[in-house]
């Protein structure tokens, strides 16, 4: 009995030893895996994107217009340029264009703004030329009558009635006195495209007329375009001498005259207002055209007199 117990104890011990040895090898061969801390999704915030900074292009210096950036066109008469700059100053925007009608090389174009500006009465010059071109081509005459349409009628106008026909001369007189209904009827008769075409053929490349004269602007132009147009009339461009003379006679009789030519003696053919003015001046052996646009008209009259004095000494 004792032998059986002893043998069982030995067997038990041997099995225990084998199990211990096997577990020991398993531990020695096992790979240690380090598990880092789990990042919580609750506290994890997405990195905010930084806003893109727009790169602004610096404007070209030549494209910016300042009152003190006064420029004269190449070839401009230096003495005339000096007179214009001194008279107009640098406090306000302006354009001045002067052309000797007896000497094409004697001129001055001085400005601190090159773009076309809104105009009122001065724009009627282009409409007048277009009207007389129609007459020259036999499309209208002194007996032509135009019926006023509802679209022509300006608010508050009592001079002209809708569905009534009026003669060209009467409408033209009304237009020069500032009547918008008359201006609209004449513009409709001639056509906006024809007026723009006349302007371009006169050399007024920056000029465009409005569709009607009901607004604050009747179109846009420049002082240089106005002078080119007056020179064109004087030289018989677009219109023959007879019809060009009629245009000049028409504007010479319109009142009031622009302040630019007040006090100037001789033959003065002018049209304009406090914003734009253009004129042909003849007398004492000289003939020239002068046009001006300005943000302030305080120096218009002084300019007209100074330019006239300069030409009077050119005898």
Mapping DSSP onto H, E and C, the string for the chain reads CHHHHHHHHHHHHHHHHHHHHHHHHHHHHCCCCCCCCCCCCCCCCCCCCCCCCCCCCCCCHHHCCCCCCCEECCCCCHHHHHHHHHHHCCCCCEEEEEEECCCCCCEEEEECCCCCEEECHHHHHHHHHHHHHHHHCCCCCCCCEEECCCCCCCCCCCCCCCCCEEEHHHHHHHHHCCCHHHHHHHHHHHCHHHHHHHHHHCCCCCCEECCCCCCCCCEEECHHHHHHHHHHHHHCCCCCHHHHHHHHHHHHCCCCCCHHHCCCCCEEEEEECCCEEEEEEEECCEEEEEEEEECCCCCHHHHHHHHHHHHHCCC
pLDDT in tens, 49-95: 555 544 444 434 344 555 668 999 999 999 999 999 999 998 899 99
Sheet holding 208-209, edge to edge: 117-119, 219-221, 208-209
> To the nearest whole number, what is the mean pLDDT of the chain?
85
The more confidently predicted of residues 7 and 256 is: 256
Can you give the CATH number for the domain in which 142 is found?
A: 3.40.710.10
- Please count the structural domains in the chain: 1
Strand partners, 276: 293
Cα–Cα separations (whole angstroms), residue 86 to 83, 145, 172, 302: 5, 49, 38, 11
The 10s digit of each residue's pLDDT in 100-131 is: 999 999 999 999 999 999 999 999 999 999 99
Q: Residue 220 above 90 pLDDT?
A: yes
Crossing angle for the helix pair 168-176 and 180-190, to the nearest 10 degrees: 130
Tokens of 98: 């002067």
Report pLDDT for 99: 98
In a domain, 36, yes or no: no
Say what percent of the chain tops pLDDT 90: 71
pLDDT at 27: 41
Position 257 in a domain: yes
| pLDDT, tens digit (0-9, with 9 covering 90-100), for 150-194 | 999 999 999 999 999 999 999 999 999 999 999 999 999 999 999
Q: Percent of the chain beyond pLDDT 70?
A: 78
**Dihedral-angle region of residue 284 (phi above 0 means left; psi in -120 to 50 means alpha; beta otherwise):** left
Q: Is residue 284 part of a domain?
A: yes
Q: Is the pTM of this model over 0.85?
A: no
139 in a domain, yes or no?
yes
Classify residue 52: in a domain, yes or no: no
Q: What is the pLDDT of residue 69?
A: 86
Q: Is residue 54 part of a domain?
A: no
Of residues 284 and 223, more confidently modeled: 223
By residue range, what is the domain housing residue 146? 76-312
Residue 62 lies in a domain: no
192 domain residue, yes or no:
yes
Nearest to 154 by CA among 124, 128, 186: 186
* Residue corresponding to tokens 């219109």: 239
């Amino acid at each position: 009995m004792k032998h059986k117990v002893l043998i069982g104890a030995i067997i038990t011990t041997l099995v225990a030893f084998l199990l211990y040895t096997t577990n020991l090898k398993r531990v020695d061969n096992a790979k240690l895996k380090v598990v880092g801390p789990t990042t919580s999704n609750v506290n994890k915030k997405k990195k905010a994107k930084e806003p893109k900074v727009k790169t602004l292009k610096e404007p070209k210096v030549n494209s910016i217009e300042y009152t003190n950036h006064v420029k004269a066109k190449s070839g401009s008469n230096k003495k005339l340029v000096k007179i214009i700059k001194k008279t107009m100053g640098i406090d306000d925007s302006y354009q001045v264009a002067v052309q000797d009608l007896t000497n094409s090389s004697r001129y001055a174009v001085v400005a601190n703004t090159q773009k076309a500006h809104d105009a009122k009465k001065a724009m009627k010059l282009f409409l007048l030329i277009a009207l007389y071109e129609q007459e020259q081509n036999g499309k209208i005459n002194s007996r032509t009558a135009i019926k006023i349409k509802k679209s022509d009628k300006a608010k508050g106008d009592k001079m002209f009635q809708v569905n009534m026909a009026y003669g060209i001369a009467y409408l033209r007189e009304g237009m020069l006195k500032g009547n918008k209904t008359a201006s609209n009827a004449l513009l409709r008769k001639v056509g906006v495209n024809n007026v723009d075409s006349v302007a371009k053929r006169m050399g007024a490349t920056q000029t465009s007329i409005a569709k009607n004269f009901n607004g604050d602007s009747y179109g846009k132009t420049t002082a240089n375009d106005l002078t080119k147009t007056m020179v064109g009339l004087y030289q018989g461009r677009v219109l023959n001498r007879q019809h060009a003379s009629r245009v000049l006679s028409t504007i010479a009789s319109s009142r009031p005259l622009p302040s630019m030519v007040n006090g100037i003696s001789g033959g003065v053919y002018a049209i304009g207002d406090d914003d734009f003015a253009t004129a042909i001046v003849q007398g004492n052996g000289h003939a020239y055209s002068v046009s001006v646009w300005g943000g302030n008209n305080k120096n218009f009259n002084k300019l007209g007199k100074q330019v006239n004095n300069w030409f009077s000494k050119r005898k």
